[in-house]
Amino acid sequence: MRKPASWPGLVIAIIVILIALTGNLAAPQDPLEVNTANRFLPPQGQNIFGTDNLGRDVASRTIAGTRLALQSCLVILCSATLVGTTVGLISGYYGGAVDEVLMRTADVFIAFPGLVLALAIAAALGPNLTNAMIAISAVWWPSYARLVRGQVLQIKQNAYIDATISLGSSNARVIFSHVLPNILTPLLIQITSDIGPALVTTSSLSFIGMGAQPPTPEWGSMVSQGRKYILDYWWISTFPGAAILVTVLIFNSVGESIRKALAA
Q: Per-residue pLDDT tens for 217-254? A: 999 999 999 999 999 999 999 999 999 999 999 998 88
Q: Is residue 112 part of a domain?
A: yes
Q: Is residue 17 part of a domain?
A: no
In degrees to the nearest 10, what's the CA dihedral of 186, 114, 229, 30? -50
Question: Cβ–Cβ contacts within 10 Å for residue 229, how many?
Answer: 15
Rounded Cα distance between 180 and 208, Å, is 39
Question: How do residues 27-58 score in pLDDT, each as one tens digit?
Answer: 889 999 999 999 999 999 889 999 999 999 99
The reported pTM is 0.89
Which pLDDT score, from 0 to 100, does residue 221 have? 94
Phi-psi region of 27 (alpha: psi -120 to 50; beta: other; left: phi over 0): beta
Which CATH number do you get for residue 243? 1.10.3720.10
Q: Is residue 172 part of a domain?
A: yes
- At 47, give phi and psi (nearest 5°): -115, 85
Q: Would you say 232 and 59 are in contact if contact means Cβ atoms under 8 Å apart? A: no
Q: Would you say 79 and 191 are in contact if contact means Cβ atoms under 8 Å apart? A: no
- For residue 47, the cross-strand partners are 44
Rounded Cα distance between 42 and 46, Å, is 10
Which pLDDT score, from 0 to 100, does residue 6 have? 75
Which pLDDT score, from 0 to 100, does residue 264 have? 63
Question: How do residues 71-106 score in pLDDT, each as one tens digit?
Answer: 999 999 999 999 999 999 999 999 899 999 999 999
Question: How do residues 15-27 score in pLDDT, each as one tens digit?
Answer: 999 988 887 788 8
Q: Would you say 117 and 109 are in contact if contact means Cβ atoms under 8 Å apart? A: yes
**Number of domains into which the chain is organized:** 1
Question: Which residues, in sequence order, are CB contacts of 130 under 8 Å at separation 6+?
Answer: none
Q: Is residue 71 part of a domain?
A: yes
Q: Is residue 161 part of a domain?
A: yes
Q: Is residue 53 part of a domain?
A: no
Q: Is residue 128 part of a domain?
A: yes
pLDDT at 5 over 80: no
Q: Is residue 16 part of a domain?
A: no
Which pLDDT score, from 0 to 100, does residue 1 have? 67
Range of the domain at 118: 65-263
pLDDT at 124 over 80: yes
